[in-house]
Each structure stands twice: as C-alpha cells, then as structure tokens.
Amino acid sequence: MTLPVTLKHIKAAAGRIRPYAHPTPILTCAGLDTMSGGKLFFKCENFQKAGAFKFRGACNTILSISEREAAKGVATHSSGNHAAALALAARLRGIPAHIVMPHTAPEAKKAAVAGYGGIITFSDPTQESRRSTLESVLEQTGATYIPSYDDPRIVAGQGTAAAELIEEVPDLDLVIAPVGGGGLLSGTAIAVSELSPTTGVIGAEPVNADDAYRSLQEGSIVPSVNPQTIADGLLMGLSQLTFGVIRERVERIVTVSEEAIVNAMRHVWERMKIIIEPSSAVAVSAILGDELDVAGKRVGIILSGGNVDLERLPF
C-alpha cells in the first residue's frame, strides 16, 4: 500500500525544522537495562522545545504553509502539548497562533501558551464548544487550522524523532512509542520501517484508553470514549490517516495499567534523573511488565514529553 506519508516527507521535514528543533539526546540507563533484560535507548523528546515531540510536527506544518496563509496566522484547539508547540513554532515564524482552550485547562498550560505568545480564546470544556469556538476563530481571523495529529505534515514532523534515533543507533530490534491520536506512532512507524526494515515498531497504550489496540483488533477505528487515564496526552482516538499507517506498519500495541504507568514514571525519574510525563511512561511501562519480553533485545523508546504539573504528582 502506498502511504500518504513517506520517508521523503520525513526527510524534508527534518531539513525544514533543523534550524529550530533540538536534535534531542539519546540516553541509556544501566539500571533500567537490568530491570528489563534488554539494552534500552531513550530518545529524549522531553528535552524538545516546548517540552514534547509535538514541536516537530507543529514546526514542520507551520513552515510548510504559504506566505499568504501564514500572514493570517494559524489556529488550533488543544489544551495540551500541541497548543504550546504551535504557539512557539508560530512565534519562530513570526506569525500569530490562535489557540482555543477550555477555560477549565490547568493554569500552567494557559501560562505556557501565553508565554510563547499564543493568543488564547477560551471555550467550554465540551468537544462541541471547542469545535464551534475554533470555527468562529477561523472565520474571524482567516487563520489556517493546524490539527494536532490528523495531517500528513504533522505525521512527517513527528517521524523525524525516530529518524534521528535510527541514524544514531542503527541496529535496533524494536522501537516503542506511545499512541493516542497516533501522530507520533504513525510517523515513527514510517521512519523506522523505511530506514531499518528489520526493526519492529510497537505502540504502547493505557489499558484505560485502549481504543487503538481495539481498532487494530477490529480492523476499523474504534472511537476513544471518555478514557480515564493519567496519561493525558493519549486521550484522543485514531484518525483514518494514522490508523491506515499503524495497521500497515506497527507490529502490535501493548496495553498497560495505570499502576504500571506510575511505576515506570517513577523508575525513570529515580534512575535516569530526568522528568517524563505519564504519556512517556506508557512506553517505558510496556517493557517493564510481562506482556512484552525484551530480554537480549536492543530497544529504542520514544520519551514523548516532560510536561508535568509538579503540584500534582502521582507519588
């Protein structure tokens, strides 16, 4: 099957974002190697600008739109990492970013978006209100809508993280990425399968938000309905675009419990001395439990982000 995003798009994205995005470090940890039995390579997108891989896709997309479009700015609805990433990427291009956020969003998230110069419009916390508020922002401003994952330019941007990982650590047996809407996992799957065909790609998902797992089982998209998980970056369901890629290029999806996520997060904080958010810990917990055996394997893990509220830690 011809995919809507190819290695060519990821390479173009890598060239486009290079002056702006960090080429994030890859860390190892003897303690976690011992715990898992594998040799682990952590791609640290928690050190990415705005604290998450989302900056890659946002930056690639903003740099891909025309001068004429750019002049009117960009817009999205998001209360998470995509909002901050888009605001920062827009500022770097010198254009306005209109961000629709529910008024109930954490103050820290509002402050991050405002700190990057994003223009916030508050909505009610319902999907309907967020959508209609975005519609009226788009109408009033003429801004270009940049979705958080359902866009080939976003997927290509997110794939640049795994491309850097494969370039630096070429002989991996597996690469694991968390899956929510599927932008990161589908970009990762394209990059890895094209650059290193013998490397398997595995998604990791909270069992309490296992719509991607069930979508693969059923062969069609299962929507994400009221998921209850600490991994607040993984609440969205797959789109046709991301589902199509994941079905073709991802070996399997491993689901993990809330307890396993918190334990993995704690292990990374304590052993590696780095801050990762719960969504990143989902990928780590996949290799610390019983479901996936990585003994003797070389495993790349995408640590997707490090934005946590220090006032509300799970430990």
Q: Closest distance between a second copy and the C-beta of residue 315, in Å?
A: 5
Q: Closest distance between a second copy and the C-beta of residue 42, in Å?
A: 12
Give the whole-angstrom CA distance, residue 219 versus residue 174. Answer: 23
Q: Closest distance between a second copy and the C-beta of residue 293, in Å?
A: 24
> Judged by CB, which is closer to a second copy: 159, or 306?
306
DSSP string of 8-52, one letter each residue:
HHHHHHHHHHTTTS----EE--HHHHHHHSSEEEEEEGGGSGGGB
Report phi then psi at 164, rounded to 5.
-65, -40
Nearest to 64 by CA among 153, 147, 178: 153
Q: Is residue 254 helix, strand or coil?
A: strand
Instruction: Read off the amino acid at residue 24.
Output: T
Query: Is residue 273 at the binding interface for a second copy, with CB under 8 A as the rule?
Result: yes
Among left, alpha and beta (phi > 0; psi -120 to 50; other), residue 50 is left
Q: Closest distance between a second copy and the C-beta of residue 276, in Å?
A: 8
**Token couple for 285:** 């917990």
> Judged by CB, which is closer to a second copy: 28, or 220?
28
Give the whole-angstrom CA distance, residue 194 versus residue 312. Answer: 40
Task: Find where tokens 């402050």 sit.
Answer: 111
> Judged by CB, which is closer to a second copy: 234, or 303?
303
Query: Is residue 275 at the binding interface for a second copy, with CB under 8 A as the rule?
Result: yes
Number of amino acids touching a second copy (CB under 8 A): 18
DSSP string of 119-149, one letter each residue:
EEEEE-SSHHHHHHHHHHHHHHH-PEE--SS
> Judged by CB, which is closer to a second copy: 51, or 159?
51
- Going residue by residue from 166 to 195, which x/- string records binding to a second copy, judged by CB under 8 A? ------------------------------
- Going residue by residue from 291 to 310, which x/- string records binding to a second copy, judged by CB under 8 A? ---------------x---x
Instruction: Read off the amino acid at residue 45.
Output: E
Q: Closest distance between a second copy and the C-beta of residue 274, in Å?
A: 6
Contact positions with a second copy (CB under 8 A) in 230-269: 266, 269
Let me know: does 88 contact 80? Beta carbons within 8 Å: no
* Residue from the set 274, 291, 297, 298 that interacts with a second copy by CB under 8 A: 274
> Judged by CB, which is closer to a second copy: 155, or 301?
301
Give the whole-angstrom CA distance, residue 79 versus residue 84. Answer: 9
> Judged by CB, which is closer to a second copy: 43, or 98?
43
Report phi then psi at 273, rounded to 5.
60, 30
Q: Which stretch binds a second copy (CB under 8 A): 76-84, 117-125, 153-161, 270-278?
A: 270-278
Query: Is residue 20 at the binding interface for a second copy, with CB under 8 A as the rule?
Result: no
Contact positions with a second copy (CB under 8 A) in 45-74: 46-47, 51
Q: Which stretch binds a second copy (CB under 8 A): 43-51, 65-73, 189-197, 220-228?
A: 43-51
Return the ∠ at Cα 74 (arms to 69 and 80), rounded to 5°. 160
Task: Find where tokens 């998921």 sit.
Answer: 227
Residue numbers at the binding site for a second copy (CB under 8 A): 25, 27, 46-47, 51, 266, 269-270, 272-276, 306, 310-311, 313, 315
